[in-house]
Amino acid sequence: MAKTSGANGSLINGGRKRVPTPGKAAILALGKAFPSQVIPQDCLVEGYIRDTKCEDLSVKEKLERLCKTTTVKTRYTVMSKEILDQYPELATEGSPTIKQRLEIANPAVVHMAMEASLACIKEWGRRPEDITHLVYVSSSEIRLPGGDLYLAAQLGLRNDVGRVMLYFLGCYGGVTGLRVAKDIAENNPGSRVLLTTSETTILGFRPPNKARPYDLVGAALFGDGAAAVIVGADPLAGKESPFMELNYAVQQFLPGTQNVIDGGISEEGINFKLGRDLPQKIGENIEEFCKKLMAKAALSDFNDLFWAVHPGGPAILNRLESTLGLRSEKLEWSRKALMDFGNVSSNTIFYVMELMREEVMKKREKEEDDEEEEWGLALAFGPGITFEGILVRSL
């Protein structure tokens, strides 16, 4: 059984000082879920070296260094001793294991999406039948029909629910999903969109190889989990509790950078590599991108905003902070999400948002929210290099 979370949004509703903008989409509820196996980062190296039967001391030492620099403390994972006992070929170099990996990943991804969605719907407080659209995001499954159909059926959604699948977007998939959900909600009056994201590292698990040093980065950084949000415009007074308005969305790719994050599927699973210049490329382009979003609300000072940034890794957060001159606390919740869960690809932006929401609820409960920022940016970066951003408003 996956671990789930869905905080009660009533405190935000009860203490809300801002009126939702008519016709603008907002996040109405949020839930998350994880596989039952949690791995403390301190235990990862020994377990990974044992499971992959690696006898190269230099590989172990490099992984130990990477585990420290990622700042991750805990992660959740579908992979387990039981799975490796059943599929020992997953830890054997060069084995054609895509079939076995999908046998594990496909149901696991939908199961986590199901648990996160149930937590989200419970918080929302309305019936599953009231969901009109489903946006399903994953880079961790491959099949026809997709997980969106299985999830809709298992949740008991209407059979005429409008479904959208977003596959293999990587780390920016969660914010892309929000942009798509926003467009649906604002162009279909009365609609309610369930957006789910679900990811597992099963497809990319492999033994270390000196010819693939980037595999160790994945082993030290990425985790598994799922998230879900309900998005809708014109919330029903007394029945729905909006907490973040989605004001304006922009997607942009950087020409000539498509090989900086490079991935592909083979008989061995998913292979990927990250260019060392990824933080630099983001840093060189992030200021102009943020200003484009901020201009919609006549904002100019980066430190006047709150920041919900996908924590791709500490180097990216550090570059963002230094380039934009952000005060250290501005990326506090991104750093905490990375520490608590690792980089969980498309899901992680929602873990950041939930941490921020919890903090806002605490301040409002204590009536300490006089200086709470109204406007913020939700940002994520991924293959392309693609920037995905939304100007958001705290309600």
Residue 247 has pLDDT above 90, yes or no: yes
How is 176-243 classified by DSSP, letter by letter? HHHHHHHHHHHHSTT--EEEEEEE-SGGG-----TT-THHHHHHHHB--EEEEEEEEESPPTTT----
Residue 360, pLDDT score: 87
Q: What pLDDT is attached to residue 7?
A: 40
Q: What is the pLDDT of residues 211-230, one digit of tens each?
A: 888 889 999 999 999 999 99
pLDDT score, position 368? 67
Is 171 tagged catalytic? yes
Q: Which two tokens stand for residue 35?
A: 């596989």
pLDDT tens digit sequence for 87-146: 999 999 889 999 999 999 999 999 999 999 999 999 999 999 999 999 999 999 999 999
User: In this structure, are strands 162-167 and 133-138 parallel, antiparallel, or unpaired?
Assistant: parallel
Residue 320 tokens read as: 């963002």
Residue 369 confidence class, pLDDT cut points 50, 70, 90? low
Model pLDDT, residue 370: 62
Model pLDDT, residue 13: 43
**How does pLDDT run across 13-53, given as a tens digit for each residue?**
445 578 999 999 999 999 999 999 999 999 999 999 999 98
Which pLDDT value is given to residue 367? 74
Mean per-residue pLDDT over the chain, rounded: 93
Confirm if 288 and 281 have CB atoms less than 8 A apart. Answer: no
* Per-residue pLDDT, 9: 35
pLDDT tens per residue across span 259-312: 999 989 999 999 888 888 999 999 999 999 999 999 999 999 999 999 999 999
Question: Rounded to the nearest 10 degrees, what angle do helices 57-69 and 214-221 cross at?
Answer: 50
- Specify the pTM: 0.94
pLDDT value for 16: 55
**What pLDDT, in 10s, does the model give residues 59-84?**
899 999 999 999 999 999 999 999 99
Q: In the numeric block, which tokens belong to residue 89? A: 């070929």
Please identify which of the residues 54, 67, 120, 171 carries the catalytic annotation. Answer: 171
